[in-house]
Structure 1
Amino acid sequence: MADGDGFEDARPARRGQKAAAPADGEGLDGHRARLRARFRSAGADSLADYELLELILFRAIPRRDTKPVAKRLIARFGSFGEVLGAPEAHLAEVEGVGPAVALDLKTVLAAAQRLTRGRVRGKQVLGSWSQVIEYCRAAMAFAEREQFRILFLDKKNALIADELQQTGTVDHTPVYPREVVKRALELSATALILVHNHPSGDPTPSRADIDMTRHIAEVAKPLGIVLHDHIIVGRDGHASLKGLQLI
C-alpha cells in the first residue's frame, strides 16, 4: 500500500520479510554498504550524481531501493545541483519522492547554502573571490525565476549583509537603482557587489543587465559607494561584468 508521502511502504520490513532489492539484483543492504564505503574511501567525486543522491535518500527511504528514485530525479531535473535547486512541489511530483523526501532534499540545499555563506561572511570579500562565486552559485544558480541579490561591504571590503532584493519572472527582475543605494546608506556600506541569476542557464549579460549596472554605479558614486562588480550566475557557469570590462 502506498503511504501518504508518495512512495510505497518505506517502513522497515516485517520479521521474516526481505527488503526490496535493487533492480540489478544486488542485495539492498550490500549495495548501500558498498556505496557508503566508496564514498568514504574515494570521496564524493567518485560518485555519479544519482549515486550521491542515493546516499541522501538512504535515510529518507530506509527500506526501499533508492537508485530508481535518484535516476528519475536526475532525468527530470538534469543534475545533482538542479535536483536540490528544484522547487519542493516539483520534487514531490517525482515517483517515489513525496513531500517528506522533497523537504529532506531542500534541507540539504539549505545546509550547503549556509556553509558557503559562512565561508564569506566577515571576510575580505575581494580576497575570497572563489568562495564568493561558490556561494552565489549555490544560492541562485538553479532558481526557476530571476533573483537580484546584493552583497553590501564595509570600507575594508568585508561582507556586512547579503540581501535578496527582488524576485522576478523567468527572464526579468525589476531593479531600482535609488532603492539599492538607499539600502547601502542604511547599512553604512561603502561598496556593493550585485548578483543575479539567469534561469536559462546562460550567464551572458544582456544589454539591460549592462545598462542597469552602469546606472547603479552612476547613482552610487557621488555618495562614496563603489560598485565592485555585477556577477551573473547560471547552471552553465558565471559571468563578471567587471571581468568582461563592461563596467
Structure 2
Amino acid sequence: MTDSTPHYHGHRDRLRARFTEFGSEALPDYELLELVLFRSIPRRDVKPLAKELVKRFGSFAKVLAASPARLAEVPGVTAGIITDLKVVEAAGRRLARGEVTKRPVLSSWSSVIDYCRAAMAFMDKEQFRLLFLDKRNALIADEVQQSGTVDHTPVYPREVVKRALELSASALILVHNHPSGDPTPSSADVKMTREIIDVATPLGITIHDHIIVGREGHASLKGLKLI
C-alpha cells in the first residue's frame, strides 16, 4: 500500500480475510454490515456509516429489516445502499424459505420458526401470514393475508378458510408478528385463532399452530396449550 492509497483499503482486505477464514460469527454486527456496504460504497470508509446504522436500528438484522423510508433518514444512505440492503434481506428470507420447502413442515419445525422470524420478527408493523400445507404437510403456498398497524392487524376467519379451500390446502399454520418485540399472545390473538379453528374444522382443514414472532423470540399457541 502506497502513501496515496486510502487507509481503508487495508482494513477492507483484513476484514474480508477474517470473514473468509472464520465466518460471520467472528465479526460484530457493524463489521458484517461493512462487508455489505463495501459494494455499495467502493471508494469511502464505510465503518462510520455501518456503526451509525447499527446504533440507530439496534442490530444487523434490524438494519436489513428497516423500511426504506427509515433507512433514507440516515445521513449518507443513498437509494443504491437501500437497494443493496434489501437484496441481502431478500436473500436471507429466500434461504430460510428454501429450508421450509425441502421437506414436510412438521418434521422441520425449527426451520419453520427460523423462516418466520427472518420474514417478520423485525418489522415495524403487524403482519398476518398463512402457511398453506397439503395432505403430506408440505408447503403449498406462503402468503401475507393482512398488514396492519404497529399493534393490530384485522383478520377475517372466513377469508382465511376461503383461501385455504381455493388452494386445496389440508392444513394451515398461522403466523403474525409483534413489533413491540414481545411475542406473548394477547387474548385477542387467542380468540381470533379459536374463531379460525371453528370455521376450518367442519371443512376438514386443520390449524396446526399459530406462531407469534418478535425480536425477543417466538411463541406457539399450541405449545402454550392455548389451542
Give the TM-score taking structure 1 as reference length. 0.89
Question: By how many angstroms is 1:17 displaced?
Answer: 9.2
Q: 2:41 aligned to 51, 61, 64, which one? A: 61
Q: Tell me the equivalent position of 2:224.
A: 244
The higher radius of gyration belongs to 1
Q: How many residues align?
A: 226
Aligned counterparts, 1:26-175, within 5 A: 28-121=8-101, 123-175=103-155
**Letter in structure 2 aligned against 1:144:** D
| Distance in 2 between residues matched to 1:68 and 1:39, nearest whole Å | 19
CA deviation string 1:139-177 (max 9, x = no partner): 111111100000000011000000000000000000000
Aligned counterparts, 1:228-243, within 5 A: 228-243=208-223
Structure 1, unaligned stretches of length 5 or more? Answer: 1-15, 22-27
Question: By how many angstroms is 1:52 displaced?
Answer: 0.2
The secondary structure found in structure 1 opposite 2:87 is: helix
**Letter in structure 1 aligned against 2:192:** M
Question: By how many angstroms is 1:121 displaced?
Answer: 1.8
Are 1:189 and 2:189 an aligned pair?
Answer: no
| Distance in 2 between residues matched to 1:155 and 1:217, nearest whole Å | 17
Identical aligned pairs, as a percentage? 70
Q: Tell me the equivalent position of 1:201.
A: 181
CA deviation string 1:175-217 (max 9, x = no partner): 0001101110111101000000000111000000001011111
Question: By how many angstroms is 1:123 displaced?
Answer: 2.1
